[in-house]
Structure 1
Amino acid sequence: MAGPVRVAILNDYEIVVAGVARMLAPYADRVRVVETATGVPPMGDCDVVLYDTFSQSQGNVLDVQEVAAMTGAQVVLYSWNLAPSLVSEALRRGAAGYLSKTLDGEGVADAIVRVADGQRVLPGDSEGREHGAWPGQEHGLSAREAEMIALITQGFSNLEIAERAYLSVNSVKTYIRTAYRKLGFTRRSQAVSWGIQHGFLPPEPRRTDTGRGMTSVAAPRG
């Protein structure tokens, strides 16, 4: 492919897509972020849609085929959940790649280029720290703990969170307990109130590269 691969980053949280965009910025000679979309599929021209799965229903909500059809782009999922059944389901739905969040910016950029060249990229070794950004990171929350707070703030029960995140209910309870301990909470209502105050309800702006820099475009409300 001549020139850098045009990439759109998709997630419900501005902080998440902005963090991934910053991570890819040093590799602009290979991948150029042309849009950061929150809440709805990208609208601009791009070659690859990089979908960050933070706080998303793993394998269920995002219709990969629909996003690919709307954008004409290859869709790549970027996740810490590497369950083989989940990877297989994403590929069945038409994903061109599935990346582990333990990849750093260079690894993600390389994978995006390979996908744009027609290769299918799958997760390898899952060991290592998570990259990117997420709500609550500055308060010491891990990405998984932050996801639990985000889903609690959105009103999901522990069982619904487990189904959404492909985790056992016991694992969900463990992540919630550690998050509560870090934040000094004893009640779910405290987590909801704190989550609302600290941006854990998904915002709806999107940003598009018009050729004059990144601009904000409001996502439509249902």
Structure 2
Amino acid sequence: MNSVRVALVNDYEVVARGVVGMLRSYQNRVRVVELDLNKQVSEYVDVALYDTFAATQGDRAVVRDLAANPLVVVVVVYSWILDPAHIEAVLANGAGGYISKGLSASMLVAALEAIHAGGERIHTGGSGTSMAVVGDWPGREEGLTEREAEVLALITQGLSNAEIAERTHLSINSIKTYIRTCYRSIGANSRTNAVLWGIEHGFRPDRIRIEHPEPAPGGVKVAARA
């Protein structure tokens, strides 16, 4: 069987490179042919793997844009959110698959192969699967978990707690908890300190995405990228 050609779509180079590192031992099965950091997918790929770290979720315009790209066979959303209603909305939005970020590297590879072959579209690992710590993210060296790092990245981008909760599908209380634990890890005592720390430690995206309001049903797509 030919290897699955994959383009990684994420605004943070460290995150995209972390996924590449995960897949390094499986190059005979999954081959990353493009890191889509500052441009749209520009060569034929079997899968555009959309990593939602500090980005809009898969039920938004960016996934519709990827799905409309004739160079992409299928869009797969790679996310921590496991809510069935959200996953259903993502698939209805044009994604052809959905994979949990908690899966191990071998399970990620198997999931990509299954989706590419037209098999099971949703891969969350199930309730009996222990979630792995995989990939890389800004702040990992300072002891931040990926969830804490994602919240800090969104703070650094200027989002409010309510906006972060909406984007990550977490409760306001969960966001406040992540902020507290994040502040302890980086030694910040205010949001301003946290933003300055984030700017100094790579929490600004390497790619700037221009977000426009979602179109009304039946309307014209207006999403664009810088």
TM-score normalised to structure 1 length? 0.87
1:189 match? 192
2:181 match? 178
Question: Is the 8 Å Cα contact of residues 5 and 45 (structure 2) preserved in structure 1?
Answer: yes
Q: CA deviation at 1:39?
A: 5.1
Distance across 1 between alignment mates of 2:187 and 2:144: 12
SS at match of 2:55: coil
* Coordinate RMSD, CA, aligned: 1.8
Unaligned runs of 5+ in 2: 209-223
Identify which range, 116-125 or 184-193, moves more after superposition.
Answer: 116-125
Unaligned runs of 5+ in 1: 206-219
**CA deviation string 1:34-87 (max 9, x = no partner):** 011125532221110111110012234453232022133211111111111211
Residue 116 of structure 1 aligns with an amino acid whose one-letter code is H
Distance across 2 between alignment mates of 1:74 and 1:120: 13
Runs (4+) of structure 1 exceeding 3 A deviation are 59-63
In structure 2, relative to structure 1, the CA distance for the partners of 1:168 and 1:40 (3 Å cut) is farther
Distance across 2 between alignment mates of 1:97 and 1:84: 13
Q: Percent identity?
A: 48
2:116 match? 116
Distance across 2 between alignment mates of 1:21 and 1:89: 27
Distance across 2 between alignment mates of 1:194 and 1:34: 33
Structure with the bigger RCO (C-alpha within 8 Å, sep 6+) is: 1
Distance across 2 between alignment mates of 1:158 and 1:23: 31
Residue 116 of structure 2 aligns with an amino acid whose one-letter code is A
How many pairs were matched up? 207
1:69 match? 68
**CA deviation string 1:184-210 (max 9, x = no partner):** 1110011100111111110139xxxxx
2:221 match? none
Q: CA deviation at 1:124?
A: 2.9
**CA deviation string 1:146-177 (max 9, x = no partner):** 01110000000111111111111111101000
**CA deviation string 1:73-120 (max 9, x = no partner):** 211111111111211111111211111112111111111111111123
TM-score normalised to structure 2 length? 0.86
Distance across 2 between alignment mates of 1:60 and 1:68: 12
